[in-house]
Amino acid sequence: MGKYVYFFGAGQTEGKADMKNLLGGKGANLAEMANLGVPVPPGFTITTESCVEYYNQGEQLWDTLKKEVMENLARLEKAMEIKFGDNSNPLLVSVRSGARVSMPGMMDTILNLGLNDDAVEGMAAVTSNPRLAYDSYRRFIQMFSDVAMGVDGSLFEHALDGLKKKKGYKVDTDLSVEDLKALVEEFKAIYKKEKGEDFPQDPMEQLWAAIEAVFKSWNTKRAVHYRKLHSIPDTWGTAVNVQTMVFGNMGDDSATGVCFTRDPATGENVFFGEYLINAQGEDVVAGIRTPQPINKSKKKSSDEVSLEEAMPKAYEQLVEIYKRLEKHYRDMQDMEFTIQKGTLFMLQTRTGKRTAQAAVKIAVDMVDEGLISQEEAVLRVEPEQLDQLLHPMIDPKAEKKVIATGLPASPGAAVGKVVFDAEHAFEQAESGEDVILVRLETSPEDIKGMAAANGILTVRGGMTSHAAVVARGMGKCCVSGAEAINLSYQKKLFEVGGTTVKEGDWITLNGSTGEVMAGKVPTIDPVLAGDFGRLMEWADKARTIGVRTNADTPHDAKVARDFGAEGIGLCRTEHMFFEGDRITAVREMILSENEAGRRKALAKIEPMQTEDFIGIFTAMEGLPVTVRLLDPPLHEFVPHDREQQEEMARQMGVSAEKIAEKVAQLSEFNPMLGHRGVRLGITYPEIYEMQARAILKAACEVAKSGKKVIPEIMIPLVGTKAEFDVMREMVDRIAKEVFEAEKTEVPYSVGTMIEIPRACVIADKIAEKAEFFSFGTNDLTQMTFGFSRDDAGKFLKEYVDKKILPRDPFQALDQEGVGEMVKMGIERGRAQRPGLKVGICGEHGGEPSSVEFCHKAGMNYVSCSPYRVPIARLAAAHAALKEKRQ
């Protein structure tokens, strides 16, 4: 505990980047820039240890600290050649907090500290800019009072607004010097009224108060709460940064700007930025004046004046600095600078945000430039970002009228004419129209229409509602749960916030944001550049967990394979019961009073399903295909409205009453927890037998044509050992029969989805006979939480807003709860069967934090929608690399 204060800048820097624990993130970064010879406004950092000591001292500044601050202030005065507290030419400073990690609830910045009634005059004289001086002073009073002294900031806002209103001003810059002077008086009066004493005129008094305020802000309720949530020790403390103020608004030889070492939109390796002459940072944001380009080559018209032309010397220095900084930090930098009377100061440098396209290009370029390794390049691109590259998107420059917002259920953009029923959507699309299918919610009957539409909009349902899941599977844009919409199927229109949209009207969806827009908004197609492919290759080299896809058709299988899928982790078979004539046979089965009748109907479906599987096995030649036997409850296969029931009655030659009766009999209070999955297999074994036969026959067919086929038969919704054992026995029996009849054998395996909490508990028992587990984390999340994914949308958003939950557990796997169940399942399963193959096929299989969880939990693979396969590959690489680095 020797040294409390570290100087930076003016060639006398004492700290460095790796002293973050002592100097805080901000302090260490300023020191680092100064060490690199980059001109930063000099200043000093009071260590985090001082903050701890402050509390040890009973919340009082102590002598040795004060002494060190005074010494460093003197050093600063010497470097700047002006004096703190010199009313004729005052040295002004900013005071900021800076902990090891950025933390909300900590103290905000205080600027212009050192001003008082006299110094403001001095500043006005020295700068020949009374406006600047008084504006700085009134800002200082407000910030100091609010941030350091706890005076309600809105009192100052009201005073300012009152003055502007009285004068008829629109913006702050309308204020005259006299106005500002009056405001300063009013602000001081507010301070006096609130604090019962005059606004402190002694700069040292101001400084001590500001330093104490930073220390105290370490223990605000919000900061303490945040630390608790994020397990940050109370003993870390925060540092205090005291830094010389510089001004970009001291005349035409001053300026301020922001720049990037490469183009953050495209990734192109060109210097890029904007600046304003005689301005402050916030003027760039305010948008009253148009910022100018930094360099000549980026000028869009000859009216513009680049920094390169206006201040060639400063520009040259800036170029030299950006190159140094990028090389040093080995990543694209986003920098802020101020030029004060011709002198360049760098205020900040940080890793620049960028688009997905830019992230990929910069990462790959930097590998080629020898700046970073391939592994680093992989880590430089956030998996979730890739989503932008895989779908068309709304042109960011386009004008748009957002009429409603739902959930970003399936990314991309879609434009089309509104259609309210699936059949009609299909017909319209067949005839060449672009359509958007709009429904209260969707059901499996709507699949054909969903496939034909450009996009899907639903009024109800969450991120894993039927519409959302199916749309993501299809890689199709979908906005779900736009609850504000009032839809009338009868009137064929919907109404939202005063706008009425009729069938046939154009709308545009942004599935990446959940926005619904009126009319046709232009979209742009993504370009999967060669860089993308190279990056994914490096990712594949790095990752250790497999990536499969959820695909139900040969087409989806092919798309996913092109995206790099290494097999199918979930081939749902329910769609195979809907297509074409099949639904008639399925309904015949449902209406049958006995097993014989059901078998007769199923016999009609079997050859068609066999063909389906032949198509899928062929598309996935050489790769494993996990086929899930029928999962949804039977009532999903019968119509629920009277009209369709009557049509079905005519088709089947029975009375509509009989149909209605059957539908009523099949209906369930909680279909999610109903008669579905293996429960169907137990009560109607003939259904699962038919499916097993179709799968194995198809496998034999494809194998006979010389192709390698790896079928994995998956029993859904298993919750007891007996359920699985009975089904496994059935599959083995059918396999024997089929192999004998086909005179060929195909190796196959039988496993189960683990999606019921009880299955996790008895995983060891299930693993006695099961060769693989595939965690169905959608349903497992529903049951572990007791959340219906179709209903939870109503309160989940509020849960996330109120921080009851960190994230929607249907989007990112809930590792604390559901994850524990998954781990239990894996542990118990592998205790019984060490070689048990384990994967995930819930929607989480394509979500990066969940993929990382799956990697850590020791799964063999993740499986996700075709369009998320690249994301999963990259996320898997990140997980492996992060682990390696630990």
640 binds its own copies (CB under 8 A): no
Please pick, from the candidates 518, 673, 730, 812, the single residue that binds its own copies as defined by CB under 8 A. Answer: 673
Q: Could you give the string, one character per residue 58-87, with x where binding to its own copies holds by CB under 8 A and - elsewhere?
A: ------------------------------
Stretch that binds its own copies, among 8-16, 148-156, 665-673, 871-879 (CB under 8 A): 665-673
**Which lies closer to its own copies via its Cβ, residue 357 or residue 781?**
781
Using alpha carbons, list the distances in angstroms from residue 795 to 22, 405, 439, 440, 777: 43, 16, 21, 18, 20
- Helix or strand or coil: residue 773? strand
197-256 positions binding its own copies, by CB under 8 A = none
Please pick, from the candidates 233, 669, 743, 885, the single residue that binds its own copies as defined by CB under 8 A. Answer: 669
494 binds its own copies (CB under 8 A): no
Please pick, from the candidates 38, 818, 859, 875, the single residue that binds its own copies as defined by CB under 8 A. Answer: 818
Minimum distance between the CB of residue 680 and its own copies, rounded to whole angstroms?
9
**Which lies closer to its own copies via its Cβ, residue 328 or residue 807?**
807
Show the tokens assigned to 800: 């996330």
606-625 positions binding its own copies, by CB under 8 A = none
- Which of 778, 779, 780 is closest to 760 using CA atoms? 780
746-785 positions binding its own copies, by CB under 8 A = 755-758, 761-762, 779, 782-785
User: What is the C-alpha to C-alpha distance for residues 556 and 865, in angstroms, rounded to an integer?
Assistant: 9
Please confirm, yes or no, whether 841 is among the known catalytic residues: yes
User: What is the C-alpha to C-alpha distance for residues 845 and 861, in angstroms, rounded to an integer?
Assistant: 9
791 binds its own copies (CB under 8 A): yes
User: What is the C-alpha to C-alpha distance for residues 588 and 592, in angstroms, rounded to an integer?
Assistant: 6
How would you list the strands of the sheet with 110-113, edge to edge? 5-8, 43-46, 238-244, 93-99, 110-113
351-380 positions binding its own copies, by CB under 8 A = none
Got the DSSP string for 533-569?
Answer: HHHHHHHHHH--SEEEEE--SHHHHHHHHHTT--SEE
Stretch that binds its own copies, among 53-61, 83-91, 473-481, 802-810 (CB under 8 A): 802-810
674 binds its own copies (CB under 8 A): yes
443 binds its own copies (CB under 8 A): no
Using alpha carbons, list the distances in angstroms from residue 556 to 429, 553, 754, 788: 20, 5, 24, 28
**Which lies closer to its own copies via its Cβ, residue 782 or residue 863?**
782
468 binds its own copies (CB under 8 A): no
**Which lies closer to its own copies via its Cβ, residue 469 or residue 568?**
469
Minimum distance between the CB of residue 838 and its own copies, rounded to whole angstroms?
19
- Which of 466, 635, 844, 855 is labelled catalytic? 466
Please pick, from the candidates 726, 730, 800, 812, the single residue that binds its own copies as defined by CB under 8 A. Answer: 726
Please confirm, yes or no, whether 466 is among the known catalytic residues: yes
Stretch that binds its own copies, among 143-151, 286-294, 353-361, 798-806 (CB under 8 A): 798-806
Main-chain dihedrals φ then ψ at residue 495, nearest 5 degrees: -130, 135
Helices assigned H by DSSP within 802-868: 818-832, 848-856
790 binds its own copies (CB under 8 A): yes
Got the DSSP string for 457-490?
Answer: EESS--TTSHHHHHHHHHT-EEEE--TT-EEETT
Please pick, from the candidates 14, 55, 799, 827, the single residue that binds its own copies as defined by CB under 8 A. Answer: 799
**Which lies closer to its own copies via its Cβ, residue 285 or residue 722?**
722
Minimum distance between the CB of residue 761 and its own copies, rounded to whole angstroms?
5
Assess contact for 601 and 583: CB atoms under 8 A. no
**Which lies closer to its own copies via its Cβ, residue 70 or residue 673?**
673
Minimum distance between the CB of residue 227 and its own copies, rounded to whole angstroms?
16
308 binds its own copies (CB under 8 A): no
**Which lies closer to its own copies via its Cβ, residue 71 or residue 820?**
820
Q: Measured between alpha carbons, how far apart are the two ends of the chain, in Å?
A: 30
Using alpha carbons, list the distances in angstroms from residue 277 to 2, 274, 286, 449, 720: 44, 10, 14, 57, 74
**Which lies closer to its own copies via its Cβ, residue 739 or residue 785?**
785
Backbone region of residue 466 per phi and psi (left: phi > 0; alpha: psi in -120 to 50; beta: other values) = alpha
DSSP structure class, residue 198: P
- Which of 478, 571, 700, 841 is labelled catalytic? 841
**Which lies closer to its own copies via its Cβ, residue 374 or residue 788?**
788
Minimum distance between the CB of residue 103 and its own copies, rounded to whole angstroms?
20
Cβ neighbourhood burial of 37 (10 Å; 0-12, 13-18, 19+): exposed
**Which lies closer to its own copies via its Cβ, residue 179 or residue 686?**
686
Please pick, from the candidates 668, 729, 740, 883, the single residue that binds its own copies as defined by CB under 8 A. Answer: 668
546 binds its own copies (CB under 8 A): no
**Which lies closer to its own copies via its Cβ, residue 371 or residue 726?**
726
Assess contact for 857 and 823: CB atoms under 8 A. yes
Stretch that binds its own copies, among 109-117, 159-167, 812-820, 830-838 (CB under 8 A): 812-820
Minimum distance between the CB of residue 548 and its own copies, rounded to whole angstroms?
24
722 binds its own copies (CB under 8 A): yes
Please pick, from the candidates 365, 387, 531, 723, the single residue that binds its own copies as defined by CB under 8 A. Answer: 723
Got the DSSP string for 666-706?
Answer: H--SSGGGSS-THHHHHH-HHHHHHHHHHHHHHHHHHHHTT
**Containing H/E element for 627?**
strand 624-628
**Which lies closer to its own copies via its Cβ, residue 610 or residue 782?**
782
Q: Could you give the string, one character per residue 681-720, with x where binding to its own copies holds by CB under 8 A and - elsewhere?
A: -xx---------------------------------x-xx
Beta bridge partners of 94: 243
Please pick, from the candidates 396, 432, 580, 786, the single residue that binds its own copies as defined by CB under 8 A. Answer: 786
- Which of 855, 876, 776, 864 is closest to 563 using CA atoms? 864
Which residue's entry shows tokens 């502007």? Answer: 164
**Which lies closer to its own copies via its Cβ, residue 352 or residue 776?**
776
Beta bridge partners of 103: none
Please pick, from the candidates 125, 285, 804, 831, the single residue that binds its own copies as defined by CB under 8 A. Answer: 804
Interface size with its own copies, residues (CB under 8 A)? 48
Other CB atoms closer than 10 Å to residue 380's CB: what's the count? 21
Strand-pair category, 624-628 with 568-571: parallel
Minimum distance between the CB of residue 675 and its own copies, rounded to whole angstroms?
5
787 binds its own copies (CB under 8 A): yes
795 binds its own copies (CB under 8 A): yes
Sequence-separated (6 or more) residues with CB below 8 Å from residue 583? 577, 637
Per-residue burial over 438-457, b if 16 or more Cβ lie within 10 Å, else e, is: bbeebebbbbbbbbbbbbbb
Helix axes 119-127, 130-143, angle to 10 degrees: 140
Other CB atoms closer than 10 Å to residue 778's CB: what's the count? 18
Beta bridge partners of 502: 493
670 binds its own copies (CB under 8 A): yes
Please pick, from the candidates 314, 362, 714, 792, the single residue that binds its own copies as defined by CB under 8 A. Answer: 792
CA 92, 97, 99 angle in degrees (round to 5)?
Answer: 150
Q: Is the dihedral of CA 800, 801, 803, 806 positive or negative?
A: positive
Indicate which residues carry an active-site annotation: 466, 841
Residues making contact with its own copies (CB under 8 A): 668-675, 679, 682-683, 717, 719-720, 722-723, 726, 755-758, 761-762, 779, 782-788, 790-792, 794-795, 798-799, 802-805, 814, 816-818, 820-821
